[in-house]
Structure 1
C-alpha cells in the first residue's frame, strides 16, 4: 500500500504541475499522431489517383490492316478518357516535355506514330512489337513513377486486347476462306482418290503385262539359241562355199586356157582337112601324079596323125576337166540349195524376232520409249531385211548354180562326143596313113580309094568347120563360166562376211534380249511395288478426302461473334481469390505504423517523466520502482487505447477481433515502454540514443513493409532479436490473417522481452544507491 501511496503522490504532483501535465498529455497522443497520420496518408493512395496529372501524347497515324483502318492510338486515347486511373492530360509532345521539365506532370505516355503500323506486323516474317513510351518523372516523385508503371502495364494489356481483337477478326475471316478451300480440297482429294483407283487398276494391268513380257523375253531368249546355232552353221557353210567357189573359179580358168589350146588344134585340124581335100581333088584329077602325091600324102598323114593324136589328148583333158567341173557345180548347187534353205530359216527367225519385239513395244509404250529398245527394234528390222535380201541372193545363186550344172553336163556330153570324134578322126588318119601306104604299095586301087577319100575329106572339112565353130562357142561359154565363177567366189566371200556380221549381230541380239529379260523382270518387280504404293495412295487419298471434308465442316461451323473475339483477345482472366484479404494500404501498413508510433511514444515518455526519483522524499528503492513502473504502464495503456480507438473508429480499420486488437495493442505499448524504461534508466541520456538505434534496426528488419527475404542478408540476423518483429507479426494476425495461435505465440515472446527488461529495471533500483543530492533535487524540481 505504501508503494501505491508513493505512486499516488507522484501522480498527483505531476497533475498539479502544468509544465509536466501538458507534455504528458501531448506525449499520450504521440502514437496517435504517428499511426493515425501515417496510416491516413497511406490509407488508400490509389483512391486519389485521378488527381495525379499525367501527360498523354498520341502521335499515331494509323495503318491499314486486312482492308480496315486500324487506329490503335486513337483507341488508346478513347480508352483512357473513360478510365479513372489518372488525371489524363492529352497534349502535344512539346507541351508534355515542358510539363515534365517544370514538374507539372508526374509522368508522360507517348504513343509513337508507327504504333498501329507495328501492331499489324504480327503475321510478318519479322514482326515488330508496338511500343508505348512511358516517361516517369522519378526525380519529382519516385513512387508516382512506380505506380504509373503498374498503370501503364494495365493500359498495355487493354490495348493489346484491342489489337488482338482485330487480329482475331481477321483470322476468323480467313478461317471462313480456309473452310471453303478445305471443301474444294476435299473435292479434289476425292477426285485424286478416284484417279488413284484407276491408276491402281492400270498398275495391276502393267504388272500383268510385264509378267507376260518377262515370259516372252524368256522364250525369245530360248529361241535365240537355235538361231545363233543356225547362223553359226550358216557361217561355216558360207566359209566352205567361199573355198569351193575359189577352187571352181581356178578350175574354170584352167579349163578356159585348155579350151584355147584345143581351139587352136581344131583350127589346125580344119586347115589340114582343107589341104587334104585339095590334095584329094588333085589326086582325082591327075592319076599321073599319084606316085608323087602319095608320098606327100604319106607325109601329110603322118603329120595329121600327130595332130589328131594331140586332138585326142586335148579332148581327153577337156572331158576330164568338164567331168570335174560337173562334180564341182553339183556340189556348188547342193551347197547353195542348203544355204538358201538356211537363209530362209534365218529370214523367218529374224522376221519373228522383229515382229515379237514390235509387239512387245506396242504392249509397253514406256518400254518402246527406251533408247536401248528402240535401237534393238531397228537392229532386228535391219537383220530381218538383210536376211531376206541374203535369201533372195542365195536363191539366185542357187538358180545360177543349177543352170551352170546343167550347162556343164551338156558341155561334158559334148566333150565326150568330141573325144569320141577325135578318136574316130585319129583312127581315120591312121587308116589314111595305112591307105597312103597301101596307095604307095598299090596304085590299082588308087582311083576307088581316092574317090572315097575325097568324099571323106569333104566330110572331114565340114566336120572340122562344125568342130571349130563348136569350140569357139564352147570357149565363149567357158569364159562366161569362168567370169561367173569369179563372181561366185566374190559372192561367197561377201556371203562369208555377211554371215560373220550376222553371227555377231545375233550375239548382240542375244545379249540385248538377256538385258531386256532382266529389265522386264525388274520392271515386273517395280510394277508390284508400284501396285502396293498405289494401294496406299488410294487408301490415303480416300482418308485425305474424308479428313478434309471433316475439317471443312468443322471450320465452317465456326461462327464469329464479339464475345468469341474478346475471348481470343483475352483468353485468360485473373480471378483474385485473396487469402486473408487486406482492403487497402492503410490496413496493410497498420501493424508497422502502430508499432512505430507506440515505440516512439514510449521513447518520448522518458523525456517528460522522471526515470529514477520520486516526488516523495526518502522513498525506498522498491517504492520508486513501483511508482516509475506504474507511471509508465499507465502512460502506455492510455497511448495504446487512444491509438486503437482512433485507428478502429477514426480510420475505419477492420480487424479479426476487436478485444484481441485492444489487448495486443496495449501489450505492444507495454513491452516497448518497459524496454525503453530499462535502457534509459540504466544509461540515462545515452540510453535514448541507444533506443533510437534500436528503433532504426527494428524499422529495417521487422518485415513491416517489404518482405524479410528482400532485405540484406546481414540484417536478417537482427530480425528474431528485436521486439518489433513480434509486434508486427502479432498485429497482422489480429488485423488480417486471424491466426490467433500465431498471435499468442508472439504474445509469449513479447512477454519474455517485457518481463526481461522489467527485471533489468528492477535490478537497477535494487542495486543502485541514491544519486547525489544535487541530482535528486534537480529531478524533484522537474517533477514539481
Structure 2
C-alpha cells in the first residue's frame, strides 16, 4: 500500500502541474501520429492512380496485313481511353519531352511509327517485334516509374491481344481458301489412285519375267561349280607335285652332299676307333693302379681314425685340468685381495704410530733429544714406509691374480673349442674313411668296365671298315637319284603354271555368272518391292482421296466469329485466388507502423516522466521502482488504446479479432515501454541514444516492409534478437492471417522481453542508495 501511495502522490503532482500534464498528454498521441498519419497517407495509393499524369504519344502509321488495315497504335489509344488507370494525356512527342523535362508528367508512353508495320512481319524469314517505348521520369518519383512499368506490361498484353486477333482473322480466312484447295486435291488423289492401279498390273508382269531370269542364272551357276572345283583340285595337285619334286630334288642334293661328309666321318671314325682301342688299353692299366691306390687310402684312414680318437681324449683331459686351474686362480685372487685389505690396515696403523711418536717428541723436547726415542722415531718411520710398499706390492699381486684368473677362463673357453674341434675332426676322419672305402669299390668296378670297353672297341674298329666300303657304293647311287629329282621338279613347275591359268579362267567364268545371278535376283527383289510399293500407292492414294474429301468437308464447317477470334488471341486468363487477402496498402503496412509508433511513443515518454526520482521525499527504493513502473505502464495502456481506436475506427482497419487486437497492442506497448525504461534508467541520456540505434536496426530487420530474404545476409542475424520482429509478426496474425497460435507465441516472446528488462530496472533501484535531496530537487525542477 505504501508503494501505491507513492505512485498516487507522484501522479497527483503531475496532474496538478500543467507544464508536466501537457507534455504527457502530447506524448500519449505519439503512436497515433506515427501509425495514424503514416497509414492514412499510404492507405490505398492505387485508388488515386487516375490523378497521376502520364503522357501518351501515338506515331503509328498503320500497315496492310493480308488485305486488311492493321492500326495497332490507334487500337491501343482507344483501349487507354476506356480505362481510368492513369490521367492520360494524349500529346505529341515534343509536348511529352517538354512535360518530362519540367516534371509535368511522371512518365511517357510512345508508340513508334513502325509499330503496326513490324507486327505484320510474323511470317517473314526474320520477323521483328513491335515495340512500345516506356520513358519513366524516375528522378521525379521512382515509385511512380515502377507502378507505370507494371501498367505498361498490362497495356502490352492488351495490344498484343489486338494484334493476335488480326493474325487470327487472317488465319481463318486462309482456312476457307484451304478448304477449297483440299477439295480439289481430293479429286486429284482419286485420279492418282486410278493410275496407281495400272502401274500395279505392269509391276506384276515385270516381276514374273524377272523370276524366270533368276531361275536360269541359278542353274547355270550350279553347273559352273563342279568345273571350278575340278580345276581347283587339279591346280592344287600340280602345285603340290611341283613343290614336292622341288623339295625332293633339293633334299637329294643335300643328301648327296651330306653323304660325302658322312663318308669322310666314317673314315675318320674307323681311324678313331683304332685310337680308342689303344687308349682303352692304357686306361685299363691306369684303372688297375687307381684300385691299388684307393686300397692304400682305406688303410691310411683307418690309422688316422685311431689318432683322432687319441686327440679327442687328450683335449677332454686338458679341458678338465684347465677347469681346476680356473678354480685355483679364483681362490688365489680372493686370498690376495684379503691380504691387500689387511696390509692397508697395517700400513694405516704404522703411519698412525709414526705420527703419534712425532707429536710426542714435539711436545717434549727433552724426550725428543733422547737417543732411544730418536731410534724409535726412525724405526716407526721405516715401518710405516715398508708397510706402505708392502701394501702396494700386494695390490699389484692382487691385480695380477685377477688377470691370471681371466686368462685361465679364456684358456678354458679355448680348451672347450679345441675339444669340440677334435670331436668334429674325428667325425670328419670317419666320413673320409667311409669315402675311401666307396672310392675303392668304384675303382674296382671301373677296372672291370675298362676291360669290357676295350673288347667293344676292337669289335667297333672291324665294323667301321665294313661301313666305309658300303658308304662308297651308296654315294654313287645317290648322285644318280639327285639328277632325276631335278628333272622331275622342272616338269612339276610347268604343270603348275598351266593349271593356274586354267583355274583363273574358270574363276572369271564363275564370277561373271554369279554377277548375272545376283543382278537378276536384285531385279526380282526390286520388282517385288515395286509391286508392294504400287499396292501401297494404290491403297494410300485411295485413302488420301477419302481423307482430303473429309478434310474439305470439315474445314468448310469452320465459321469465323468474334468470340472465336478473341479466344485465339487470349486463350489463357489468370484467375487470382488470394490467401489471407489484404485489401490495401494501409492494411499491409499496419503491423509495421503500429510497432514503430508504439516504440517511438515509449521512447518519448522517457523525456517527460522522471526516470528515478519521486515527489515523496525519502521514498524507499522499492516504492520508487513501483511508482516509476506504474507511471510508464499507465502511459503504455493509454497509448495502445488511442492507437487501436484510431486505426480501427478512424481509418477503418479490418482485423480478424478486435479483442485480441486490443490485447496484443497493449502487450506490445508494455513490452517496449519496460525495455526502454530499463535502458534509460541504467544509462540516462546515452541510453536514449542506444534505444534510437536499436530502433534503426529494427526498422531494417523486422521484415515489416520488404521480405526478410531481400535484406543483406548480415542483417538477418539481428532479426530474431529484436522485439519488433515479434510485434510485426503478431500484428500480421491478428489483422490478416487469423493464426492466433502464432500471435500468442509472439505475445509470449514480447512478454519475456518486457519481464527481463523490468527485472533489470528493479535491479537498478535495489542496488542504488537513495537519491540525495539535491538530486531529488533537480528532478522536481524538471516537473515544475
| Shared fold per TM-score greater than 0.5 | yes
Change (3 A) 1:621 1:512: closer
Say which SS state the counterpart of residue 636 (structure 1) adopts: helix
State how 1:273-422 maps to structure 2 within 5 Å: none
State how 1:72-471 maps to structure 2 within 5 Å: 72-211=72-211
Q: Shift of residue 701 of structure 1? A: 0.4
Say which SS state the counterpart of residue 88 (structure 1) adopts: strand
Matched, 1:763 2:756: no
What corresponds to 1:242 in structure 2? none
Say which SS state the counterpart of residue 21 (structure 1) adopts: helix
Change (3 A) 1:197 1:771: farther
Q: Deviations over 1:140-170 (max 9, x none)?
A: 1111111111111111111111111111111
What corresponds to 2:628 in structure 1? 628
Q: 2 CA distance for matches of 1:638 and 1:7?
A: 17
Gaps of 5+ in 1: 223-509
Say which SS state the counterpart of residue 633 (structure 2) adopts: helix
What corresponds to 2:774 in structure 1? 774
- Contact 2:31/2:598 (CA < 8 Å) preserved in 1? yes
- Contact 2:727/2:746 (CA < 8 Å) preserved in 1? yes
- Contact 2:680/2:688 (CA < 8 Å) preserved in 1? yes
Q: 1 CA distance for matches of 2:513 and 2:603?
A: 120
Q: Shift of residue 512 of structure 1? A: 11
Q: Deviations over 1:209-252 (max 9, x none)?
A: 43456678999999xxxxxxxxxxxxxxxxxxxxxxxxxxxxxx
Q: Deviations over 1:593-620 (max 9, x none)?
A: 1001111111111111111111111111
Q: Shift of residue 541 of structure 1? A: 3.1
Q: 2 CA distance for matches of 1:171 and 1:564?
A: 12
Q: Deviations over 1:273-319 (max 9, x none)?
A: xxxxxxxxxxxxxxxxxxxxxxxxxxxxxxxxxxxxxxxxxxxxxxx
Change (3 A) 1:554 1:606: farther
Counting matched residue pairs gives: 499
- Contact 2:655/2:736 (CA < 8 Å) preserved in 1? yes
Change (3 A) 1:2 1:117: same
What corresponds to 2:267 in structure 1? none
What corresponds to 2:594 in structure 1? 594
Say which SS state the counterpart of residue 55 (structure 1) adopts: strand
- Contact 2:10/2:616 (CA < 8 Å) preserved in 1? yes
Q: 1 CA distance for matches of 2:184 and 2:772?
A: 111
Q: Shift of residue 663 of structure 1? A: 0.7
Say which SS state the counterpart of residue 54 (structure 2) adopts: strand
Q: Shift of residue 40 of structure 1? A: 0.6
Say which SS state the counterpart of residue 572 (structure 1) adopts: coil
Q: Shift of residue 741 of structure 1? A: 0.8
Say which SS state the counterpart of residue 89 (structure 1) adopts: strand
Q: 1 CA distance for matches of 2:219 and 2:7?
A: 139
Change (3 A) 1:80 1:518: closer
Q: 2 CA distance for matches of 1:671 and 1:517?
A: 107
Q: Deviations over 1:631-656 (max 9, x none)?
A: 11111111111111111111111110
Q: 2 CA distance for matches of 1:668 and 1:545?
A: 83
What corresponds to 1:53 in structure 2? 53
State how 1:458-497 maps to structure 2 within 5 Å: none
TM normalised by structure 1 equals: 0.61
Q: Shift of residue 106 of structure 1? A: 0.6
Q: Shift of residue 184 of structure 1? A: 2.9
- Contact 1:615/1:783 (CA < 8 Å) preserved in 2? no
Q: 2 CA distance for matches of 1:670 and 1:88?
A: 50
State how 1:506-521 maps to structure 2 within 5 Å: 520-521=520-521
- Contact 2:702/2:728 (CA < 8 Å) preserved in 1? yes
TM normalised by structure 2 equals: 0.61
Q: 1 CA distance for matches of 2:46 and 2:78?
A: 22
What corresponds to 2:683 in structure 1? 683
Change (3 A) 1:746 1:207: same
Q: 1 CA distance for matches of 2:518 and 2:573?
A: 72
- Contact 2:19/2:783 (CA < 8 Å) preserved in 1? no
Matched, 1:737 2:726: no
Change (3 A) 1:621 1:534: same
Q: Deviations over 1:187-208 (max 9, x none)?
A: 3333333332332222112222
What's the Cα RMSD here?
A: 2.5
Q: Shift of residue 534 of structure 1? A: 1.7
Q: 1 CA distance for matches of 2:769 and 2:189?
A: 111
State how 1:543-554 maps to structure 2 within 5 Å: 543-554=543-554
Q: 2 CA distance for matches of 1:168 and 1:705?
A: 45
Q: 2 CA distance for matches of 1:512 and 1:764?
A: 122
Q: Deviations over 1:248-284 (max 9, x none)?
A: xxxxxxxxxxxxxxxxxxxxxxxxxxxxxxxxxxxxx
Q: Shift of residue 552 of structure 1? A: 3.6
Change (3 A) 1:688 1:511: closer
Gaps of 5+ in 2: 223-509
Change (3 A) 1:609 1:60: same
Say which SS state the counterpart of residue 125 (structure 2) adopts: coil
With 696-705 and 564-573 compared, the bigger mean Cα shift is at: 564-573
Q: 1 CA distance for matches of 2:743 and 2:179?
A: 65
Rg bigger for which structure? 1
Q: 2 CA distance for matches of 1:591 and 1:38?
A: 12
What corresponds to 1:324 in structure 2? none
What corresponds to 1:42 in structure 2? 42
- Contact 1:100/1:137 (CA < 8 Å) preserved in 2? yes
Q: 1 CA distance for matches of 2:203 and 2:30?
A: 103
What corresponds to 1:571 in structure 2? 571
Q: Deviations over 1:317-370 (max 9, x none)?
A: xxxxxxxxxxxxxxxxxxxxxxxxxxxxxxxxxxxxxxxxxxxxxxxxxxxxxx
What corresponds to 1:428 in structure 2? none
Say which SS state the counterpart of residue 146 (structure 2) adopts: helix
Say which SS state the counterpart of residue 113 (structure 1) adopts: coil
Q: Shift of residue 119 of structure 1? A: 1.2
Say which SS state the counterpart of residue 135 (structure 1) adopts: strand
Q: Deviations over 1:668-689 (max 9, x none)?
A: 1111111111111111111111
Q: 1 CA distance for matches of 2:91 and 2:707?
A: 40
What corresponds to 1:644 in structure 2? 644
Q: 1 CA distance for matches of 2:206 and 2:192?
A: 20
Q: 1 CA distance for matches of 2:198 and 2:167?
A: 45
